[in-house]
């Protein structure tokens, strides 16, 4: 981020253009040649689709039929669409419960993996390995694990006297099931936390220990603030990813319709896909996409603002 | 001096004893926790592998067992017959089943196969004949899973899906390496007007959710170019650079000493020569990271293939597995066998390039 701060380009009005000599012109040409792959990609795969989907969002558009301008009607319809609110609720549930829970547990795992334990490297591999199992494979595996009758989780719960829920068919338990699936694959987050923990100065921890701070005090007063930039990073990427949560939910319904059971896994992106590609309401889906973009922007800015008070940057 | 040490000694000894006790409990707790959470990561993984080796009946055995079991078979008159524990008039005997029709089994004694006996498998709630089981890894699940398609009779097998995934991943790697490196070099080392503004734009595109551009991109490839149901919509975009890889490569390029490039510039080398002859050869570690992560991303991708690939012969592993799974009858052992085959290339990549993996996660901050 300090890249942005040290950038020599300033927003001024009117914009101050530098005087162009022959050298500048050659440099510009060479630079643009190197950037060519990205420039074309940006125009074709980002800018043009952004503009078009923005236009679509003000139209009724069934693919292959001509656009029909309806102004803000799509956005107005969203407000009265029960499924839209349901999908937004489902997504916010995952963002508000799944993401913080996953962060907390992965931080705890990283702390454990940072301890000097015999076989530390083996534990690290075990904790990390599930995260590289392809999404579709891990989701199907968890469908099998969460199977209420023959699944291994409910069997294990049965051994300790707990009757496991109907993970996949009970609308109250499908999202916790998906959170479990997500936590199984959180190895990447653990690795990021682990690298952050290794950067916490040992001198600081030793000094605190000499002053009589116990393990918990050291963790809470030194380690947690020192890794707070990583927490912020993981939080933001986690929230953005959760708003786009799709593949797991698509596979998790098994043989049933999207959103099974009872629309409890109908997440925002799933409902958007359903509108755009199954019902071919592409204008409506585009409006949903832009609302999603704005929600993500607001959440990110909010997190950055709020975190200013809680994040500690060393140096 | 003696008095001082006499006073000091007991306290330190006491302190060290209480500390030892505390350390012991802390170590006990941390060992318990690391193992307990380790089981959460390990058990599902092992369960996938174990299920992949189970026979059809064993998959649904209640309560579930760890190891795959299968019916013991004995050779009778040149035929492999399943062995059963049968409650006969003369106590329990091990007999081989010749056939089982409508709950009535025809058995022979493997030792004395002359005479055939008939018993009902079940009388009321009492099992008369029960198969004799032993631990046996059913390797046949793997060819069975790979040679079938995601649905019966669609003329494409999981081997085809596997090959499709490999083809897409290979060309994605080529495209990503070719297109991202020069862009990253320009942002890292060239000085020209507008560079920093463009870099802000490229970073900003990371914020844009795919859902916003998804529909126009789909229509563009599918209707405008007529590339629906081909690999092209999945491969071609990788030839036009992306924010994550540009950022990753740029960060690495900036660590290469500027003096080396300047020396080459003085000697009259062009920027392209500096890039290809000096910077790229020094960047093999980061290029390896990009390669591994592009493979991971392409291999894992589900949304792209779901949007563009419609006929089964073009399915990728991810899409084929989902299609297989969405069928009415859940053949869990074959599903898990296909999942294992799907996962193995990534596990191999991980063990060959462990450092690259971990480094990449730290640099990009995520696996996708």
Task: Quote the DSSP letter at residue A69.
Answer: E
Per CB-CB distance under 8 Å, the chain B contacts of A290 are 212
- Count H helices, E strands: chain A? 18, 2
Map residue A60 onto helix, strand or coil: strand
Chain B nearest C-alpha distance from A277 (Å): 8
CB contact under 8 A, B362 and A141: no
Chain B nearest C-alpha distance from A184 (Å): 6
- Was domain A75-307 assigned CATH 1.20.120.80? no
Nearest partner of B280 among B292, B289, B291, B272, judged by Cα: B272
pLDDT surpassing 50 at residue A1: no
pLDDT surpassing 50 at residue B3: no
Residues A82-113: pLDDT tens digits?
999 999 999 999 999 999 999 999 999 999 99
Strands (E), A79-229: none
pLDDT surpassing 60 at residue B11: no
Write a three-state SS string for chain B: CHHHHHHHHHHHHHHHHHHHHHHHHHHHHHHHHHHHHHHHHHHHHHHHHHHHCCCHHHHCCCCCCCCCEEECEEEECCEEEEEEEEEECCEEEEEEEEEEECCEEEEECCCCCCCEEEEECEECCEECEEECEEECCCCCHHHHHHHCCCCCCCCCCHHHHHHHHHHHHHHHHHHHHHHHHHHHHHHHHCCCCCHHHHHHHHHHHHHCCHHHHHHHHHHHHHHHCCCCCCCHHHHHHHHHCCHHHHHHHHHHHCCCCHHHHHHHHHCCCCHHHHHHHHHHHHCHHHHHHHHHHHHHHHHHCCHHHHHHCCCHHHCCHHHHHHHHHCCCCCCHHHHHHHHHHHHHHHHHHHHHCHHHHHHHHHHHCCCC
Q: What is the predicted pLDDT for the residue at B181?
A: 96
Phi, psi of B198 (to 5 degrees): -60, -35
Pick the residue of A4, A30, A41, A242 with the most B CBs within 10 A to test the interface with B by mutation: A41
CA distance B94 to B132: 8
Q: What is the predicted pLDDT for the residue at A11?
A: 63
Per CB-CB distance under 8 Å, the chain B contacts of A272 are 211
Are B233 and B243 contacting, i.e. CB atoms less than 8 angstroms apart?
A: no
CA nearest to B300 within chain A? A134
What whole-number percentage of chain B has pLDDT above 70?
Answer: 94
Look at phi and psi of residue A313 and say left if phi exceeds 0, alpha if psi is from -120 to 50, else beta.
beta
pTM of the model: 0.88
Q: What is the predicted pLDDT for the residue at B250?
A: 93
pLDDT surpassing 60 at residue A315: no
Please identify which residue in the block is written with the tokens 């950038």.
Answer: A7
Computed over every residue of chain B, the mean pLDDT equals 87
CB contact under 8 A, A292 and B211: yes
Q: What is the predicted pLDDT for the residue at B25?
A: 86
Query: Helix axis angle, A73-80 relative to A82-93, nearest 10°?
Result: 70
CB contact under 8 A, B44 and A142: yes
Domain-by-domain residue ranges, chain A?
19-56, 75-307
CB contact under 8 A, A31 and B237: no
CA distance B333 to B67: 13
Q: What is the mean pLDDT of residues B188-216?
A: 93
Q: What is the mean pLDDT of residues B238-259?
A: 92
Write a three-state SS string for A199-268: CCCHHHHHHHHHCCCCHHHHHHHHHHHHCHHHHHHHHHHHHHHHHCCCHHHHHHCCCCCCCCCCCCCCCH
CA nearest to A273 within chain B? B211
pLDDT surpassing 70 at residue B280: yes
CA distance B222 to A85: 31
Pick the residue of B209, B307, B355 with the most A CBs within 10 A to test the interface with A by mutation: B209
pLDDT surpassing 60 at residue B132: yes
pLDDT surpassing 60 at residue A266: yes
CA nearest to A271 within chain B? B211
pLDDT surpassing 50 at residue A207: yes
By residue count, chain B amounts to 368
Residues B296-341: pLDDT tens digits?
999 999 999 999 999 999 999 999 999 999 887 778 999 999 999 9
Residues A38-88: pLDDT tens digits?
999 999 999 999 999 999 999 999 877 888 999 999 999 999 999 999 999
Q: What is the mean pLDDT of residues B81-100?
A: 84
Q: A136: pLDDT confidence band, cut at 50, 70 and 90?
A: very high
Considering only the beta carbons, identify the residue of B38, B42, B213 that sits closest to A50: B213
Residues A5-34: pLDDT tens digits?
444 556 667 666 666 788 888 899 999 999
Chain B nearest C-alpha distance from A172 (Å): 22
Per CB-CB distance under 8 Å, the chain A contacts of B307 are 277
Q: What is the mean pLDDT of residues A137-150?
A: 91
CB pairs under 8 A between A and B: 270
Q: B368: pLDDT confidence band, cut at 50, 70 and 90?
A: very low
CA nearest to A24 within chain B? B192
CA nearest to B194 within chain A? A9
Least confident of A119-128, A205-214, B12-21: B12-21
Q: What is the predicted pLDDT for the residue at B5?
A: 45
pLDDT surpassing 60 at residue A201: yes
Q: What is the predicted pLDDT for the residue at B15?
A: 60
CB contact under 8 A, A46 and B205: yes
Considering only the beta carbons, identify the residue of B26, B240, B321 that sits closest to A37: B240
Considering only the beta carbons, identify the residue of B61, B192, B215 that sits closest to A27: B192
Nearest partner of B357 among B294, B293, B311, judged by Cα: B293
Look at phi and psi of residue A64 and say left if phi exceeds 0, alpha if psi is from -120 to 50, else beta.
left
Phi, psi of A71 (to 5 degrees): 65, -130
Phi, psi of B126 (to 5 degrees): -95, 125
Structural tokens at position B188: 């890292």
Q: What is the H or E stretch that residue A92 is in? A: helix A82-93
Q: What is the predicted pLDDT for the residue at B56?
A: 84
Per CB-CB distance under 8 Å, the chain B contacts of A149 are 62
Q: Pairing between strand B69-71 and B133-135? A: antiparallel
pLDDT surpassing 50 at residue B4: no
Domain-by-domain residue ranges, chain B?
41-68, 73-131, 146-364
Q: What is the predicted pLDDT for the residue at A176?
A: 95
Per CB-CB distance under 8 Å, the chain B contacts of A250 are 302, 306, 322
**Domain B146-364 class, CATH top level:** mainly alpha
Of A65 and B250, the structure prediction assigns the larger pLDDT to B250
Q: What is the predicted pLDDT for the residue at B154?
A: 80
CB contact under 8 A, B45 and A109: no
Task: Quote the DSSP letter at residue A67.
Answer: P
CA nearest to A141 within chain B? B48
Q: What is the predicted pLDDT for the residue at B9?
A: 47
């Amino acid at each position: 981020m300090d890249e942005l701060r040290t950038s020599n380009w300033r927003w001024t009005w009117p914009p101050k253009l530098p005087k162009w000599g022959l050298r500048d012109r050659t440099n510009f040409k060479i630079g643009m040649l190197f950037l060519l792959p990205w420039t074309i990609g940006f125009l074709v795969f980002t800018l043009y689709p952004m503009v078009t989907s923005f236009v679509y969002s003000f139209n009724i558009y069934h693919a292959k039929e001509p656009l029909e301008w309806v102004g803000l009607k799509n956005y107005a319809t969203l407000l009265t669409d029960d499924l839209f609110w349901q999908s937004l609720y489902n997504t916010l549930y995952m963002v508000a419960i799944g993401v913080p829970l996953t962060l907390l547990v992965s931080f705890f795992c990283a702390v454990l993996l940072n301890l000097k334990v015999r076989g530390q490297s083996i534990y690290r591999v075990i904790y990390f390995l599930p995260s590289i199992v392809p999404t579709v494979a891990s989701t199907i595996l968890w469908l099998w694990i969460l199977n209420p009758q023959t699944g291994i989780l409910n069997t294990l719960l049965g051994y300790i006297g707990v009757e496991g829920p109907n993970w996949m068919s009970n609308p109250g338990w499908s999202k916790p099931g998906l959170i479990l699936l997500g936590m199984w694959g959180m190895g990447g987050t653990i690795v990021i936390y682990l690298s952050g923990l290794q950067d916490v100065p040992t001198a600081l921890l030793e000094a605190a220990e000499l002053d009589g701070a116990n393990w918990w005090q050291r963790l809470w007063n030194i380690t947690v603030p020192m890794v707070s930039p990583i927490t912020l990073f993981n939080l933001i990427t986690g929230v953005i990813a959760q708003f786009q949560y799709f593949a797991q939910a698509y596979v998790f319904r098994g043989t049933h319709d999207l959103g099974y059971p009872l629309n409890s896994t109908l997440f925002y992106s799933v409902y958007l896909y359903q509108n755009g590609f199954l019902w071919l309401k592409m204008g409506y889906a585009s409006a949903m996409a832009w609302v999603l973009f704005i929600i993500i922007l607001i959440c990110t800015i909010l997190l950055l603002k709020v975190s200013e008070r809680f994040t500690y940057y060393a140096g | 001096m003696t008095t001082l040490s006499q006073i000091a000694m007991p306290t330190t000894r006491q302190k060290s004893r209480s500390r030892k006790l505390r350390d012991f409990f802390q170590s006990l707790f941390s060992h318990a926790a690391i193992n307990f959470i380790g089981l959460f990561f390990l058990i599902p993984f092992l369960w996938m592998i174990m299920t992949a080796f189970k026979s059809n009946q064993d998959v649904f055995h209640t309560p579930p067992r760890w190891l795959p079991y299968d019916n013991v078979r004995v050779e009778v008159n040149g035929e492999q017959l399943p062995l059963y524990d049968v409650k006969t008039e003369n106590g329990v005997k091990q007999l081989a089943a010749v056939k089982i029709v409508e709950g009535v089994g025809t058995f022979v004694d493997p030792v004395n196969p002359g005479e055939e006996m008939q018993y009902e498998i079940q009388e009321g709630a009492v099992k008369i004949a029960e198969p004799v089981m032993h631990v046996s890894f059913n390797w046949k699940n793997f060819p069975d899973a790979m040679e079938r398609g995601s649905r019966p009779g669609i003329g494409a097998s999981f081997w085809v899906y596997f090959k499709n995934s490999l083809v897409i991943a290979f060309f994605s790697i080529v495209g990503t390496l070719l297109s991202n490196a020069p862009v990253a070099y320009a942002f890292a080392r060239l000085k020209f007007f507008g560079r920093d503004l463009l870099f802000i734009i490229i970073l900003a595109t990371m914020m844009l959710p795919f859902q916003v551009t998804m529909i126009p991109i789909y229509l563009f490839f599918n209707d405008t170019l007529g590339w629906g149901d081909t690999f092209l919509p999945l491969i071609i975009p990788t030839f036009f650079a992306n924010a994550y890889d540009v950022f990753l490569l740029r960060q690495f390029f900036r660590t290469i000493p500027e003096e080396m490039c300047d020396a080459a510039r003085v000697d009259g080398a062009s920027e392209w020569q500096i890039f290809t002859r000096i910077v790229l050869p020094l960047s093999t570690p980061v290029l390896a990271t990009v390669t591994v992560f592009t493979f991971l991303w392409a291999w894992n991708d589900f949304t792209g293939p779901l949007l563009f690939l419609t006929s089964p012969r073009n399915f990728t592993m991810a899409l084929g597995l989902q299609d297989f799974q969405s069928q009415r009858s859940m053949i869990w052992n074959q599903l898990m066998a296909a999942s294992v085959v799907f996962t193995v290339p990534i596990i191999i990549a991980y063990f060959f390039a462990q450092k690259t993996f971990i480094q990449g996660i730290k640099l990009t901050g995520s696996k996708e």
